Amino acid sequence: MKIRAIRLKEVGRFREPVALEGLTGGLDVLAGSNELGKSTILKAVKLVLFEQHKSKKTKTVEVLRPYAGGAPLVELEFEIDGKSWRIRKQFLAQASAELKDLQSGRVWRGGDAECELSKLLSGSAGAEHFALLWVEQGDSLKALEPAAMMNGALYAAIEAEVVAVADGGAARIAHAKVKQELAALVTSHNPPRPAGAYKVILDERRDLRQQCQAARDRLARAQARLDHLADLRARAAQLSDPEVVTARLAAANAMRAAFDEALKAREKCRHSEQAQQSQEERLVALRAALESFECRITDLAKLEDEARQDAPAMNEMTRRVADCQARVVECRRSRDEIKASLDTVEGRLKALDLAERAKQAAERLQVARGLAAEHKALAGEIANNCAEEGLVIAVRRENASLETIKARLSAAAPRVSIVYADGAKSEIRVEGRVLKDGETLNPCKPIALEITGVGVVTVAPGQLESLGEDQSNLAAHEEELRALLKRAGAASIDEAERRLGQRRVLEARLAEASIQLKALAPNGLECLERAHAESFSDVPPIKDMCHVAQADLELRSRELEDELGDAERQLVKMEQEQDQVGKDEAGLSARVHERDRRIEMLSQSLGDQAVRKRELEKLSVAVAEAESGLNAAVRDLAAWREKAPEDARFDGMKADAERAEGALADAERDLIEIRREEAGIEGELKADRAGDVSACLAELEDKLASVETRTQDMADQIQALQLLDREFSVATSETRERFAKPVLDRLAPYMSIVFPEARLGFGDGLAPKELHRGDDSEALGNLSKGTQEQLAVLVRLGFGGLLAETASPAPLILDDALVYSDDRRIERMFAALKRAANSHQVLVLTCRESTFAALGGHRIAIGAWQTP
Amino acid sequence: MRFAFIHTADWQIGKRFGAFEAEKAAVLREQRLGAVDRLADAARASGAATVLVAGDVFDSETVTDALIARLLSRLKGHNNLVWHLLSGNHDPARAGGVWEAIVAGGLPENVCLHLSSQPAELAKGVVLLPAPLTSKSTSCDPTIWMDSVSSPDGIVRIGLAHGSVQGFGSDGGANVPIDPARAQSAGLAYLALGDWHGVKRISDHVWYSGTPEPDSFPDNEPGYALAVHIDDAKATPKVERIATAHFTWTRRRKTISCADSLEAIEKEVSQLGAEASRHLMGLSLAGSVSLAEFARIDDRLAKLGSQLFHLAPDLSGVQTFAAGSDIDALGSGMLATVATRLKGMAESPTEDREVAARALRKLFAIARSAEAGGPR
C-alpha cells in the first residue's frame, strides 16, 4: 500500500480542513515545527484505516476531537496493487464511512465500506493491521524495553503480521484457549500449583479420603464393638452359669473353714509360747534373787571389817582439823587489830582534807558575794543613766539635721559683718544689743540694725523656696532635740555624750563582774551558798586532831598498811591449810558415813542370822518349783506347734480363702460391669446403625473412586494442556524464528549502514534483545537512547522490507522517531531510510527541519483541504 | 407333600450406590425395597405362600432402624405370605447386629428369622434347615449340621444357606464354603442358596436365586426370583425363574472403528422405547478411531446417555489417531504443525504417547469449537 494523500478536518489541532497532498509513495518528508500536528496526522491515518466509523473506543477517537469540539473527519487516498482508493470516515457525530474506487468510481458506504476496506488491508493473507508500520514519538524506546514489555509493542506489531502470514490467528486463539483452560486448572508458578476446578477436586479428594478413613475407623470401631459385645456376652454367660456359681461358692466356704481351723491352732500355739516365756522369766528371777541374797550377806561381812580398820584414822583427822581452826582464828584476830589501827589513821587524814576544802569554799563564797553586790550596784547606776546608744545617736542625727538646716538658712541668710570705722562715734545695735566690731551676723529673718544717729538698716535673708519649710523644720528639729535630750537626761549634746560614755563604762564593768560571778557560781549564788553549807557539815570537829601532824599520820598509815599486808598473807595461808584439812576430813567422814549407811541397810534387809537362813531356804525351794513349771510349758508348746501350720502354709491358706471369696466378689462385680458395658455398647451400636457406618463407608468409597477417576482425568487433562501449551510455544517460537531470519536478512543491509559489523539478537516474542559487536554483547536496555531508537527504526525497516517482498508493501511512518541520534548516526540513518524507500513508502514526520534537510526525499507540506 | 415357595436372596437393603449422583442413587435405593412388592407378586402368581430369603437381606450390619422398620412394614403388608429371613455375610447374626435390633423391636407375625441352626417347620411335612451365618467369614461349612439332623420319612427337607459353593468358581462376596453335595448328603429336596447375585443352577436340587433387583453391571443374570415347586421329598423340584427387576443393568462391550459403530447399541436402546428409562448400561468401547470420529462418538454417547437411566461409558480402550484429513482440517500453519508433532508423539512408543494423544484430542476439540464459533 502507498499513501498518496491525507486529509483532515476537525481532527486534533486541525479545526479547519487541511491536507497533505502529492505523496510519492517513496521517501516523503514532512518537516515542521513542534505542535504542527505531525503526531495527529499519524493518529488520524491509523484511525481511518483501523477503526470503525461507529467505533465505541471513545478514548481512541476522542483524543482526536478538537478541544472546541467537533466530529473528526479523515480522508485517505492510497494505492494498493496499482489501484487507487479513497477512504473517508467521519467519527462521533454523524459517523459515516465511504470507500471509493478512484478508477472505477464505485463507492461503498457504511458497513460495506468498512468490509471492503478490511479486505483491501488484509492483503493476500487475510490478516489485520497488515497495511501500516509506524514508529510514534517516544514509541521507539518503549519498543526496545526488556522482553516482558517488548512483547506488548514490537511483538504486537510483528506478531500480527507473522500470524497473518501463518494461519489467520487461529493458532493464537487456540493457544490462548489452551492457556485459559490451563489457567483454570493450575497456576503459573514453577512448578505449577493446583487452582480452580483442579484444586477443588483435589480438595474434594483429600476430604473424601479423610472421610473414608474416618468412616473406616468408625466401622472398625463398630466391628470391634460387635466383637467385644460377643465376648462380653460369652463372659457373662460363663459368669452366671448356675453350676459354676455353686462350685465357686462351695470352694470359698471350704477354704474359709480350713483357714479358721488353722487360725485357732496358731492362737493356741501363741498362748503356749507366752506361757513358756513367762515360766522362764520367773525361773530367771528367782535364781537372781537367790544369788542376790547370798551376795548381800557377803557384802555385809566385808563392810563390817572395813569399819573396824578405819576407826583410828578418823580420830587423827579430827585432831588435825581442830588445830588448823585455832591457828586461823589467831591470824584473823591479828589482822583485824592492824586494820582497825589503820582505819583510825586514815580517818584522821580525811578529816584534815575536808577542813581544807571547806576553807577554800568559804573564800570563794566571799568573793562571789562581793561580785554580786557590785553587779547589783552597777545595774542600778546603768538604770539611772538613760543616755542609751540609740538615744544619743538620735540626738546626733537631730543635731546634724538642725545644723544642716541652719547652714542652709545661713547660706541663704545674708552675712552681715560689722566693721566700725576708725573714730566712729555711733554704735550699731540689733534688738537693743550693741554689735561689736568684726561681729558677723547671719540673720535668718529680717533684722533691724539700728545705727545711732543714722537710722535703721533692715537686713532680710534671701528668698529661698524652702525658706518657710526650713524654718518650720528647724523648729521641729529643735523641739525633737530637746525631747531627746530630756529623755537622755542631759541638757546638752555634750552632756548626753558624756553620760553615754559613763554608761558604757558601767556596762563594761557590769559585764566583767557577771563573767567572774559566773566562773565562781556557774549555777548561781544560791547554789554556791548551799554547796558551801553542805561541805561544812562534812567536816569533823577539828579540835581532836589539832595536835597531830599530817605527815606523821601519813607515815603511820604506810606502816600499818605493810603490817596489814603481812597479816593478810598469813591468814590466807592458814585458811588454805584449814581448807585442805577440812577436805581430807570430809572425804574420810563421807566414806565412813557411807559404809555405815550400807551396813545399816544390809543389816535391816537381811535381818538377823535366823531370818537369813530361813530366807535362803525359801528361795531355793522357789527356784526348784520354777524349773518344774518351765518344763511343763515347754511340753505344751511343742504339742500345739505340731497342730498349727507354719507361716508359709498358713499364709497360703489365708490367701486361698481370700482368693476364693475375692473370686466370688469379682464374679459379681464383673457381671455387673459386663452388663453395664453391654448396655453401653448396645447404645453405641444403635448410634452406629443410626449413622449406618458401613453403608456410609461404601458410599464414600464409591464417591472417592469416582473422584479419583475424575482427578486422574483432570491431571491427564492438565498434562495434555501443558503439552499443548509447550508445543504451541515451540511452534510459535519456530514460526517467529522462521520469520526472524527473513527479518534479520532484510535488516542486515541497514545494520551494515548504521552499525557495521554489529549484529542484532532477538529474544522471545521476536523482540530485539541485544546488540552483538564482535565477542561483546550488550543488552538493549543498556544501550544509549539514541542507539535504541536507531535500532527500533531499523527493525521496522527490516520488517517493511520483508512485507514488501513477501506480502504487500506497507508504508512506514516515522513520527519524530530519531530525536537522540547524533549527527554521524543520523547521517547513516538517512542512508538507510533512502535505501528502504526503494522498496516501500517511508513517510518521515520531523520537527528537525535543518537536520533532516540532508535526508532528501520529497518534501510535503500541510495545506488547505479544498473540498472536504 | 406338595409345597411351593419363592426362593430369593441378596436383597442388599440399604446399599447406597455412592458412585451414582444423588438423585439416581436415591431411586436405586428405593427400588431395592420395591423388589419386596414384586416378590410378593411373584409369590402370588406362583401360588406360593412362603418366601425363603437366603441371606444378605441387608447390605450391612449397621442399617438404620428406620430402614429396618420400612422393610418390616412392607413385609408385614404382604400378610398372606410368610417371609423366612436368613442371615448372610453382609448381615451376620451376631451379638449387637442388625437381627438383634430387629428381634428387640418386634417382628411382624408373618416374618420368621432363622438365626441359629435349628430345624423349623415351614408347613406340615416340610421342614426348613437353615444355616445362618454368624460372622462375615468362616472357614467352616455352615451346612454341615444338616447331615446330622434326621427327619421322619416323607418329610420334605429344604436347606437354606448363604455362601460359595466349592468348585463352582462362584465369585460371591461371602468367603463361606458350602459343599455342593450337601443336598444329597443331608437328604435335601432343595438347597436354596444366596450370595451369587445371578440366577444359577448348581444342580437339580441346588440353585442360586440371585438378587431380585440388580445392583451392579453383572457378569451373570440378576433380577430374578425362583418359584420352586416340590412334589415330594425325593422328586426333582420344578424351578421357574420369575423376573422381578425394575431396572435392567446391562453390560455391553463393543469394538469400534468409527462413530457409526455405535449404531447397533443405539438401535438396541431405541428399541427399548420407554423402557430405556429403566435401563442402566455399562458400555465398554475398544478400538482405534480418528480424532474426528472420536468427537462424533462423544456426541453420540451423550445422546445415548440421555435416553437411558444411566450410561457408564468406558472409553479407556479406545485409541485415537490423527488421520490425514484431521490435520488437513486444521489448515496449514501452526495448528497443523502442532498437531503433526503431537501425532508423532502419540504414535511413538514412549511414556508420553497417552498424554500426546489426549493433547491431540484436545487440540481438535478446540479447533472444532473455534470453527463452530463457540466455546467448548
DSSP letter for each residue of A663-712: HHHHHHHHHHHHHHHHHHHHHHHHHHHHHTHHHHHHHHHHHHHHHHHHHH
Asked whether A25 and A79 are in contact (CB, 8 A), the reply is: yes
Query: Is pLDDT larger for residue A415 or for residue A525?
Result: A525
pLDDT exceeds cutoff 60 at A151: no
Q: Mean pLDDT throughout A330-346?
A: 92
Look at residue A458 and tell me whether its pLDDT is greater than 60.
Answer: yes
**What does the pLDDT read at residue A461?**
67
How far is the C-alpha of A18 from the C-alpha of A9, rounded, in Å? 6
Chain B positions touching A679 (Cβ under 8 A) are none
Check whether B53 has a pLDDT greater than 70: yes
Sheet holding B200-201, edge to edge: B120-123, B126-131, B156-162, B190-194, B206-208, B200-201
Question: How confident is residue A868, by pLDDT bands cut at 50, 70 and 90?
Answer: low
Neighbours of B33 (CB within 10 A): 17
Task: Give this prediction's pTM.
Answer: 0.51
Q: Which residue has the higher pLDDT, A70 or A570?
A: A570
Residue B354 is predicted with a pLDDT of 86
Find chain B residues with C-beta within 8 A of A689's C-beta. Answer: 62-65, 98, 101
Name, of A140-149, A205-214, A442-451, the range with top average pLDDT.
A205-214
Distances (CA, A) of B140 to A450, B56, B145, B304, B358: 187, 18, 11, 48, 51
Measure Cα distances from B115 to A406, A646, B59, B125 in Å.
159, 58, 17, 22
As given in the structure block, the three cell numbers for residue A206 are: 483429600
Looking at residue A542, what is its pLDDT?
53
Per-residue confidence at A150, pLDDT binned at 50, 70, 90?
very low
Q: What is the mean pLDDT of residues A272-301?
A: 93
Over 70: is that where the pLDDT of A546 sits?
Answer: no
Which chain B residue shows the shortest CA-CA distance from A166?
B333
* Beta bridge pairs of residue A779: A770
The shortest C-alpha distance from B123 to chain A (Å) reads 33
DSSP result, B145-181: GGGG----TT-EEEEEEESEETTTT---S-B-EE-TT
Q: What is the mean pLDDT of residues A454-476?
A: 76
Partner residue facing B96 (CB), from A170, A226, A724 = A226
Q: Is the pLDDT of residue A162 over 60?
A: no
Cell representation of residue A269: 500355739
**In terms of CA atoms, which chain A residue is nearest residue B367?**
A174
List alpha helices for A607-646, DSSP H: 609-643
Q: What is the mean pLDDT of chain B?
A: 90
- Using pLDDT thresholds of 50, 70 and 90, give the confidence band for residue A466: low
Could you tell me the pLDDT band of residue B144, with boundaries at 50, 70 and 90? very high
Most confident of A21-35, A304-318, B322-336: A21-35
pLDDT of A123 > 70? The answer is: no
Of A406-410, A588-592, A677-681, the one with minimum mean pLDDT is: A406-410
Q: Is the pLDDT of residue A35 over 70?
A: yes
Is this prediction's ipTM beyond 0.85? no
CA distances (Å), origin A48, targets A87, A88, A96, A161, A820: 8, 7, 11, 19, 30
Tell me which long-range contacts A493-501 makes (C-beta under 8 A, separation of at least 24): A493/A395, A493/A396, A493/A399, A496/A387, A496/A391, A496/A392, A496/A395, A497/A392, A499/A385, A499/A386, A499/A387, A500/A387, A500/A388, A500/A389, A500/A392
Residue A543 has a pLDDT of 53
**Has residue A261 got a pLDDT over 60?**
yes
Answer yes or no: do B342 and A173 touch at CB < 8 A: no
Average pLDDT over residues B303-332: 85
Contact A230, A711 (CB under 8 A): no
Percent of chain B exceeding pLDDT 90 equals: 66
Residue A230 to residue B94, Cβ atoms within 8 A: yes
Please write the tens of the pLDDT for every residue from A796-806.
888 788 778 76
Q: Are A695 and B14 in contact (CB < 8 Å)? A: yes
Rounded CA-CA distance A629/A619 in Å is 15
Query: Is pLDDT of A238 > 80?
Result: yes
**What is the residue-averaged pLDDT of chain A?**
86
| Inter-chain CB proximity A719 and B355 less than 8 Å | yes
> Residue B143 in contact with residue B165, Cβ under 8 Å?
no
pLDDT higher than 60, residue A130: no
pLDDT, mean of residues A129-134: 66
Buried-exposed string A53-82: b where 16+ CB fall within 10 A, e elsewhere: beeeeeeebeebbbeeebbbbbbbbbbeee
- Most A CBs within 10 A among B291, B335, B345, hence the mutation to make, goes to B335
pLDDT band (50, 70, 90) for residue A167: low
- Looking at residue A317, its pLDDT comes to 87
A42-56, A325-339, B138-152 — which is least confidently predicted? A42-56
Is the preceding peptide bond at A312 cis, omega within 30 degrees of 0?
A: no
Tell me the mean pLDDT in the region A528-533: 86
Considering only CA atoms, which of B160, B191, B162, B159 is closest in space to residue B175?
Answer: B162
Give A171's contacts in chain B (Cβ within 8 Å). Answer: 333-335, 338
Percent pLDDT > 70 in chain A is 90
What is the average per-residue pLDDT within A66-93?
89
pLDDT of residue A140: 59
Q: What is the pLDDT of residue A780?
A: 84
Q: Which of B11, B13, B61, B314 would best serve as a mutation to test chain A binding (most A beta carbons within 10 A)? A: B61
pLDDT (average), residues B273-281: 92
CA B300 centroid distance within chain: 27
Residue A165 has pLDDT above 50, yes or no: no
Q: What is the mean pLDDT of residues A796-817?
A: 82
Indicate the residue of A170, A699, A723 with minimum beta-carbon distance to B335: A170
Residue A539 pLDDT grade (very low, low, confident, very high; cuts 50, 70, 90) = low
Instruction: Return the pLDDT at A147.
Output: 32
Q: How far is B140 from chain A (nearest CA, A)?
A: 19
Eight-class DSSP state of B350: S
- Among chain B residues, the shortest Cα distance to A688 is held by B62
3-class DSSP state for residue B85?
strand
pLDDT above 70 for A809:
yes
Distance CA B353, CA B253 (A): 25
Contacts of A680 in chain B (CB under 8 A): none
pLDDT top residue among A688 and B20: B20
- Residue A156: pLDDT band by 50, 70, 90 thresholds? very low
Number of H helices, E strands in chain A: 19, 21
**Is the pLDDT confidence value at A125 over 60?**
no
